[in-house]
Amino acid sequence: MRREDLHPLSPKEGVERFLRFRESSVRESTMQNARTRLRHFLDWCEMEDVENLNDLTGRDFADFVNWRKKDIAPITMQKQLSSVRQACRYWADIEAVPEGLAEKIHAPELPDGAESRDGFLEPDRAEGLLAYHSRFHYASKEHAALALLWRTGMRRSALRGLDECDLRPNEHAVALKHRPETGTALKNGNSGERWVYLGPKWYQIIEDYRDNPDRHDVKDEHGRKPLFTSRYGRPSGDTIYGWINRATHPCNYRECPHDRDPDTCEAKGRAHQASKCPSARSPHEIRRGAITAHLNEDTPPETVSERMDVSLEVLYKHYDARTEQEKMDVRRNQLP
C-alpha cells in the first residue's frame, strides 16, 4: 500500500487501538508490560512532534532506538521493541503504516553472554528435529535456518545478514561479512568476518532453500538480495526468532512432552505465540547447544572460538554446557 493510501491515525489512538485489540487474548501482566513499553514510544512521538503514524519510516524507528537505548540495557531494549513491532504490525493491518515497516525496527546487538541461560538444544533433539524437517519440510526457511544455526553456531544477526552472493559452492561454505552501512553488522565488526565450512550435506540444504519456489525472491531496502527472506525483504531478528521457536517444538516429531492437546495448545497456530512452548528453543540456545556439541566431539576450543566468533573466556563462561563427566571424557580421549 502506498503512503498516500494510508488512513491517518495519531500515535495515542494507535496505541489505544492496539491495546484494546490485544486485551482479550493475553494475560494482564502481558498487557501491563505492553502499556509500559508503548508509553515510552508515545513520549518519543510527542518529543519529535509525530502526530500521524502514516509518516513513520524505518529511519524514525532507528532514531527512537538510539534515543531509548541511552537509558536502558540492550537486553531490555530488545524486549521493549518486541511490543513496538507487534503494534506496528497491527497498525499495518488497519492501514495506518506501510506493510513491512515492523521489519525495519532493529534492536542493538547484545553483549556476549547477556542472553545466556541454562537452556540449550541437545544433540539428540537437534537430530530429531532436523530429521523431521528433512522429511516433511525439506529446504523450508525453518529447516534451512535450523540446519545452519546448528551446524555453524552462528549468531542470529549473522544469519540474518547473509546474502545469496555469500554462498561458496566450491568450498561448501558461507562467507560472513560486516556490512553496517546497509544494516547488517557483525557482532565483532570486521574481526568477525570469516568463511564458515558447512560440508556437502549441510550446504545442499541451504542451496535447495535458496532455489525453493516457495521462498520470496526479493531485495532489501538497500538493493541487496538476502539469503533468508520474508515477503518484505530481509527478515527482522524477531521474525527469525519465531521461525526457530516453531521449528524446535518437540511435538513436530514426537508426542508432546507436556501433555498438551495440539488443537488447543497456546504455542501452536499463530507465529507470535510459538515461544509459549516450554521446550521451544531460541537461536541463542541453538548457538549454545552447537558450541557444546562441537566441544563434546573433540573439536579444539581454539577452533570453536574462531568458528563461532567468541573469545575463549566467554566461551567457557557462557556457552560451554558440558557436564563435568563430559569434560573428563573429552580430556580422556585426548590422553596418550
Nearest to 284 by CA among 145, 154, 160, 109: 154
Distance of CA 88 to the CA centre of its chain: 18
- The C-alpha torsion from 19 through 21 and 27 to 33, rounded to 10°, is -20
Q: How many CA atoms lie within 13 A of 164 on its CB side?
A: 17
pLDDT for residue 57 is more than 60? yes
pLDDT at 180: 92
Q: In the chain, list all ranges with CATH 1.10.443.10.
A: 123-283
Scored b (16 or more CB within 10 A) or e, 206-241 reads bbebbebeebeeeebeeebbbbbbbebbbbbbbbbb
Percent with pLDDT over 70 in the chain: 95
Chain segment 164-177, per-residue pLDDT in tens:
999 999 999 999 99
d(CA 46, CA 199): 53
Band of pLDDT at residue 113, cut at 50, 70 and 90: low
Question: If 0-12 CB within 10 Å is exposed, 13-18 middle and 19+ buried, where does residue 119 land?
Answer: middle
Band of pLDDT at residue 63, cut at 50, 70 and 90: very high
pLDDT at 173: 97
State the pairing for strand pair 173-176/194-197: antiparallel
| Nine cell digits for residue 131 | 530429521
pLDDT at 110: 61
pLDDT for residue 322 is more than 90? no
The H or E element spanning position 36 is: helix 28-47
| Whether the Cβ atoms of residue 262 and residue 256 lie closer than 8 Å to each other | yes
pLDDT for residue 244 is more than 90? yes
| Nine cell digits for residue 57 | 519510516
d(CA 198, CA 201): 8
Chain segment 178-208, per-residue pLDDT in tens:
999 998 999 889 999 999 999 999 999 999 9
In the DSSP assignment, the letter for residue 275 is G
Q: Does domain 123-283 have CATH number 1.10.443.10?
A: yes
Range with lowest mean pLDDT among 20-29, 34-43, 277-286, 287-296: 20-29
Q: Which CATH superfamily groups domain 3-104?
A: Tyrosine recombinase, N-terminal domain (1.10.150.130)
Q: In the chain, list all ranges with CATH 1.10.150.130.
A: 3-104
Range with lowest mean pLDDT among 205-214, 288-297, 310-319: 310-319
Band of pLDDT at residue 116, cut at 50, 70 and 90: very low
pLDDT for residue 136 is more than 60? yes
Nearest to 83 by CA among 7, 147, 17, 19: 19
Range with lowest mean pLDDT among 2-6, 199-203, 222-226: 2-6
Range with lowest mean pLDDT among 116-125, 126-135, 309-318, 327-336: 116-125
| pTM of the predicted model over 0.85 | no
Mean pLDDT across the chain, nearest whole number? 88
More confident residue, 115 or 131: 131
pLDDT for residue 48 is more than 80? yes
Nearest to 204 by CA among 263, 272, 134: 134
